[in-house]
Structure 1
Amino acid sequence: MSKIISHSLFTDFDISLFKAGKHFRLYEKLGSHLIEVNGEQGVYFAVWAPSAQSVSVIGDFNSWNGNECQLEVRWDSSGIWEGFIPGVQKGAVYKYRIRSFNNNALTEKTDPFSLYCEHPPQTASIVWDLDYKWKDDKWMKSRKDTNALDKPYSVYEVHLGSWKRHQAEDRFLTYRELAEDLVNYVKETGFTHVELMPVMEYPYDPSWGYQLVGYFAPTSRFGTPQDFMYLVDKLHQAGIGVILDWVPSHFPDDGHGLGYFDGSNLYEHPDRRKGYHPDWKSLVFNYGRNEVRAFLISNAIFWLQHYHADGLRVDAVASMLYLDYSREEGGWEPNIFGGRENLDAVSFLKEFNEAVYTNFEGVQTIAEESTAFPMVSRPTFQGGLGFGMKWMMGWMHDTLQYFKRETIYRKYHQNDLTFSMTYAFSENFMLPISHDEVVHGKYSVLGRMPGDEWQQFANLRLLYGYMFTHPGAKLLFMGSEFGQRREWNFAGSLDWHLLESKFNSGIKNVITDLNALYKLNPAMHEKQFSPEGFEWISYDDHQNAVLAFIRKGNNVKGDVIVVCNFTPVVRTDYRIGLPRKGKLVQIFNSDDERYGGSGVTNEAKIKIDKEEYHGKPFSASLVLPPLGVIAFKIS
């Protein structure tokens, strides 16, 4: 193997941008790059390690000898070490051996910008490229319209390792196998998007991917980077958007990772009150350090550019925003104004969103933010954080709490359902029933439902009907769409055999039809984030536990009338007020026998009477099925 050759991909402008925290394509410079120098093929290596006294590239090409390929530090005080090693080829395995100035400690680190990593528990980086011929031009050209906020946004949340396993070999499905099975399934059930729990390389399976080490590398558990591109490509060709879970909130302290990278607190905040998560026992990024901000925003841009992601769901935003998040009194320090907001993190999130929306059309950023922090999904020029959407955690908590109750007591808790409408349009909300709600002793969604088997499934159909007709985008975790009874287990497959049951297959049919209802009726999505898109008919019938409302779009003739009966009692001759004359045509009934329901229904067309009711000039008499939701249009 040849000795290392001095070479740089950095210009002076690159360095100035990097130091200022404004270089958002660092992956084009840092990391390992297959290039040609002076007619020789090889790999250029570059790593940021300002507190190192020496940095070597060790790998299978030099027998892991730390003396042979020592990088040179740049003269410009950027802290970047770099060099070109002739003869190194794609597939070479390597690490950085770093000797620290601080204590002369010697560590071996994974490349923070590696494109591909060894299969855990192995921890080395792999020289790779991003060559791939995409076939999703049609999707990418139409994405700006498809992903707009006035379009349907129904998300299927997936953990790739446990969605389905290869039965004969008892192993994960590969990215390419998922590109057949998962794509066909999502298309069949009608979801508009998938959200993939973190696919970036992570060392520890029970973290579900939320403890990242390889921020630029899709996990090798399921194949190569090109295999993952193939999966995204196939989803796009099927008309399905791809949201990636993104974790800029923390990272593990594994010895080969970002923690104490060059012998100093390089990526993590040096103050443990800001740099350590007591809940997750992980490290927190230093959002006030320019180079760290550039690293994180470059990472977001990378997945949108090279993997054609259509959105980023940002994990644990609340933990970033608050200095006292999950900390005891005395375990945090107020900001310069005496408040508890992490001003560096607030600034970082705004800059991240500005960079994403400036560089890409037709993408969305989504915040998992569990507090009342204001204007999370409002533009930064209005003083907001700049996200496209925010998870509606309050709706999720109140709704699941309501559905857990025995139906006889629900009349005392109607406010659990109606309260969400008092703040539903303060943000662009996505209604989530996510993986977090079906683990850690919380039971599955079905397992929360009261009553006998029939009532449990009827309640589940009612919950989903209420969810899909409520304003906002939707998200449902895998397995919930067919009523999996046990909690999610990351180490196993979903219980696909349950689809042999009429009740479970009925739930899947409900979700398929609700997705169609949501997509095909503009009133269900055109104004889903605007108060103009919703009107109560009746919210105060506590005694019967009934809600009735109207979903509105741009055309009044497309309005959808929704009535929910949250008890197992059939309500006959139940009158509701209506805004105009005509006939009511039923377009959905969660009690349909096809779904496992009892088949209580209304006539095909229901006469609308000129009789004032609920403050409306017209009204009609309906039959409300037990534990059911019904939807109508006026013809």
Structure 2
Amino acid sequence: MEITGLLSIDPGLESFKDHFRYRMQRFTNQKQLIEKYEGGLEEFSKGYLKFGFNREAGGIVYREWAPAAQEAQVIGDFNGWDGSNHRMEKNEFGVWSINIPDSGGNPAIHHNSRVKFRFKHGDGVWVDRIPAWIRYATVDPTKFGAPYDGVYWDPPPPERYQFKYPRPPKAQAPRIYEAHVGMSSSEPRINTYREFADDVLPRIRANNYNTVQLMAVMEHSYYGSFGYHVTNFFAVSSRSGTPEDLKYLIDKAHSLGLSVLMDVVHSHASNNITDGLNGFDVGQSTQDSYFHTGDRGYHKLWDSRLFNYANWEVIRFLLSNLRWWLEEYKFDGFRFDGVTSMLYHHHGINMAFTGDYNEYFSEATDIDAVVYLMLANSLIHNILPDATVIAEDVSGMPGLGRSVSEGGIGFDYRLAMAIPDKWIDYLKNKSDEEWSMKEISWSLTNRRYTEKCVAYAESHDQAIVGDKTVAFLLMDKEMYYGMSCLTDASPMVDRGVALHKMVHLLTMALGGEGYLNFMGNEFGHPEWIDFPREGNGWSYDKCRRQWNLVDTEHLRYRFMNAFDKAMNLLDEKYSFLASTKQIVSSTNEEDKVIVFERGDLVFVFNFHPENTYDGYKVGCDLPGKYRVALDSDAWEFGGRGRVGHDVDHFTSPEGIPGVPETNFNNRPNSFKILSAARTCVVYYRVEEKEGNHNSSDIGAANETLTDIAKLGDFEGINETSPADAVAKQEDLKAAQPSLIADDIATKANTETEEIEEETSDDK
């Protein structure tokens, strides 16, 4: 493998070519060693077929890597928790094993029975631990603070979930719905995998997302950790159901055309001893442990353990973990959490990365971790070439999103983590008049060339207690009592709903090659997330999603939700996220207007709080006729209907042909529009050869004002008050189809009914 590909993309990396050559050599050497001693990555990553509990001829074989143990036993319900007759043997590599013969032709350990690994360490003390490779773990819900137990999971064939649907084709660009199953219920309780599949997945598909990103799948004993303090890496979180229930969820997602990503945590592990991997650390040397020893083995801010990525068995464990989730559960890829912590010995603590390349390529770089990530991405794409793998990195490490073969680390996308910080700064600290169009545009487009980004205005990070979502920053307490359409909106709510739509579409259209939204933020969920804890009386009241708010027709939450549907549909039709054409032609500070082209669309954002511009000229590339594709000011999105959707906008040539500097805003053509205050409008170019395009474009899906007028008397609509307009829309509701992507929503509902029928036996 060569690194010339990466260096040719960014000549600034030439000074660090020795660094890239060194890590590539380390990667190559590691692969060769794995090939020599394990038969290659393919076999090496099937560790779960060797370690843990596995059925083999005539019995169950259990293996555990615990080189620090002096003696070892397997205990559980099957032997009355007395391991004296089930002592294990240790080989030269520190692996303990035992073959437990069948009893009367049946497994000696029954399915769904409890098991643990008991061992004596150097101090002569016996301890009980959950097996490292356990596939299911549960806790007695009636005993507060009780430790988890490992569970032997091997259901008989009739009880095993059988996948019915193939993986959907890989999307050109991911439109990701980030979700937490446990807090997805409208009731103050923990939701289940099956309830999420039946109740929430259809909502996600109806909103035109193509990917679901599931948080907190790996078992974690502390619910309030949001799933990031993992205790059992091969086990599904038992709070929401069984392994078969999770398979049902993923299969149903696939039936709806949704890919499913898993939020995987390989950056650290819970420091729990009795029920976590940390329990295998009994003071041994680092080569005999999953983690580094001493201070290096602890993350000071996260209060968690840090893996030793140079250790052979750690690499086996983590790579096998990735294969397990891909093959056993049919996940379609991963979002790697905490990548910054992995990349550097300082873990990003107290670091303010400036973009200086010396910050990325120095002795502070953890080459062992980098090599592991290169191995991980190589493996994932070998197993599933169409996998989507995303890195959460705040540092901006160059090459993170380039292929391993050209010297990169191999991720498909990186999260554009600076974007939400910019929006928070503006919404908290700047008046509307202080908003800089140039700064906003630069913040959204400031990403590494040829390294794809997933953009987001807010994720789960902005929804947790102590922080605020975009909607909450905009509308504050008025979200509780000012969202009824039965009265005119207050200035704060009117501004909030308008900017909520603009911020999210601008982020999607200009911020990256993919888009992400956290569950509930699409409609401006008013509550932050506060997991049950002693400080709130162990309440689940703010650890849920109030779907009733968006389902209530007279509340303004539905306007934001409708716009979310429409902007996802815009990409579904025009594929602008996947387009490499992105040209910002105007960032007018006085007018507070941003104009840009993405793909074949022209986007116009007017952030001015008061000024509406009639006859406003915007530049474009191709000549012809343009029409409205999406309008945030449309009535169905809670707007005022100031922009005519049945208007044809014809272009005029600009400047001297062949002399770009004489063009208008560096564009060879222009057309004039009405740009209303606090609105965003997207225009598409009409292809004359296709005839009247309007019947199949986004404008048709959203219903133009002309179409609405056919259904009722909407003359003088610009003079109609918002309350009256809503009332008229309600009167028309029975006479017209859903305003937003009704065909897709209907398709999703139909497929949902089909899978419910086909899987009724599994419930």
Match of 1:504 in 2: 557
More helix per residue:
2
- Cα pair distance change 1:260/1:164, threshold 3 Å: closer
- Cα pair distance change 1:179/1:411, threshold 3 Å: closer
How far apart, CA to CA, are the structure 2 residues paired with 1:247 and 1:516?
32
Match of 1:395 in 2: 419
Match of 1:447 in 2: 472
- Cα pair distance change 1:21/1:560, threshold 3 Å: closer
AA in 2 matched with 1:434: S
How far apart, CA to CA, are the structure 2 residues paired with 1:435 and 1:346?
26
Alpha-carbon RMSD across the aligned residues, in angstroms, is 2.5
Q: 1:186 aligns with which of 204, 209, 225?
A: 204
* Further displaced range: 306-315 or 16-25: 16-25
* Pair 1:589 & 2:657 matched: no
Alignment of 1:452-531 (within 5 A): 452-470=492-510, 471-490=512-531, 491=540, 492-499=543-550, 500=552, 501-522=554-575, 524-527=576-579, 530=580
- Cα pair distance change 1:616/1:77, threshold 3 Å: closer
Q: 1:561 aligns with which of 582, 593, 602?
A: 602
Question: Displacement, 1:19?
Answer: 12
How far apart, CA to CA, are the structure 1 residues paired with 2:260 and 2:197?
12
Identity of aligned residues (%): 26
- Cα pair distance change 1:565/1:19, threshold 3 Å: closer
2:63–2:95 Cα contact (<8 Å) kept? no
Match of 1:6 in 2: none
How far apart, CA to CA, are the structure 1 residues paired with 2:333 and 2:164?
16
1:274–1:284 Cα contact (<8 Å) kept? yes
AA in 2 matched with 1:457: V
Question: Displacement, 1:273?
Answer: 3.5
Question: Displacement, 1:158?
Answer: 0.7
Question: Displacement, 1:270?
Answer: 3.3
SS of 1:67 mapped into structure 2? helix
- Cα pair distance change 1:18/1:361, threshold 3 Å: closer
* Pair 1:23 & 2:44 matched: yes
Give the TM-score, by structure 1 length. 0.88
How far apart, CA to CA, are the structure 2 residues paired with 1:621 and 1:291?
65
- Cα pair distance change 1:468/1:587, threshold 3 Å: same
Match of 1:261 in 2: 280
2:42–2:379 Cα contact (<8 Å) kept? no
Match of 1:174 in 2: 192
How far apart, CA to CA, are the structure 2 residues paired with 1:106 and 1:628?
67
AA in 2 matched with 1:66: G
* Pair 1:312 & 2:334 matched: yes
Match of 2:149 in 1: 124
Match of 2:403 in 1: 379
How far apart, CA to CA, are the structure 1 residues paired with 2:636 and 2:42?
57
Question: Displacement, 1:369?
Answer: 0.6
- Cα pair distance change 1:411/1:161, threshold 3 Å: closer
Unaligned runs of 5+ in 1: 1-12, 553-558
The Cα offsets for residues 182-223 of structure 1, whole Å up to 9 and x where unpaired, read as 121111111111111121111001111111111111111111
The Cα offsets for residues 66-100 of structure 1, whole Å up to 9 and x where unpaired, read as 322111113x4343333324322212211001111
- Cα pair distance change 1:620/1:403, threshold 3 Å: farther
AA in 2 matched with 1:233: D
- Cα pair distance change 1:338/1:196, threshold 3 Å: closer
Match of 2:453 in 1: 429
2:281–2:289 Cα contact (<8 Å) kept? no
Question: Displacement, 1:387?
Answer: 0.6
Match of 2:487 in 1: none
Number of matched pairs: 590
How far apart, CA to CA, are the structure 2 residues paired with 1:411 and 1:486?
27
SS of 1:94 mapped into structure 2? strand
2:597–2:620 Cα contact (<8 Å) kept? no
Question: Displacement, 1:609?
Answer: 3.9
Alignment of 1:174-323 (within 5 A): 174-256=192-274, 257-261=276-280, 263=282, 264=284, 266-323=288-345
How far apart, CA to CA, are the structure 1 residues paired with 2:622 and 2:523?
37
How far apart, CA to CA, are the structure 2 residues paired with 1:241 and 1:603?
34
How far apart, CA to CA, are the structure 2 residues paired with 1:174 and 1:338?
46
How far apart, CA to CA, are the structure 1 residues paired with 2:39 and 2:163?
34
More strand per residue:
1
2:586–2:594 Cα contact (<8 Å) kept? yes
* Further displaced range: 405-414 or 378-387: 405-414
Question: Displacement, 1:496?
Answer: 2.3
Match of 1:356 in 2: 380
AA in 2 matched with 1:77: F
* Further displaced range: 299-308 or 607-616: 607-616
Question: Displacement, 1:465?
Answer: 1.6
AA in 2 matched with 1:628: T
- Cα pair distance change 1:15/1:549, threshold 3 Å: closer
How far apart, CA to CA, are the structure 2 residues paired with 1:369 and 1:129?
37
SS of 1:397 mapped into structure 2? helix
2:377–2:409 Cα contact (<8 Å) kept? yes
Match of 1:4 in 2: none
How far apart, CA to CA, are the structure 2 residues paired with 1:582 and 1:461?
28
Question: Displacement, 1:328?
Answer: 7.1
Give the TM-score, by structure 2 length. 0.73
The Cα offsets for residues 239-266 of structure 1, whole Å up to 9 and x where unpaired, read as 1110000000111121221115062354
AA in 2 matched with 1:117: A
1:20–1:290 Cα contact (<8 Å) kept? no
SS of 2:280 mapped into structure 1? coil
* Pair 1:598 & 2:616 matched: no
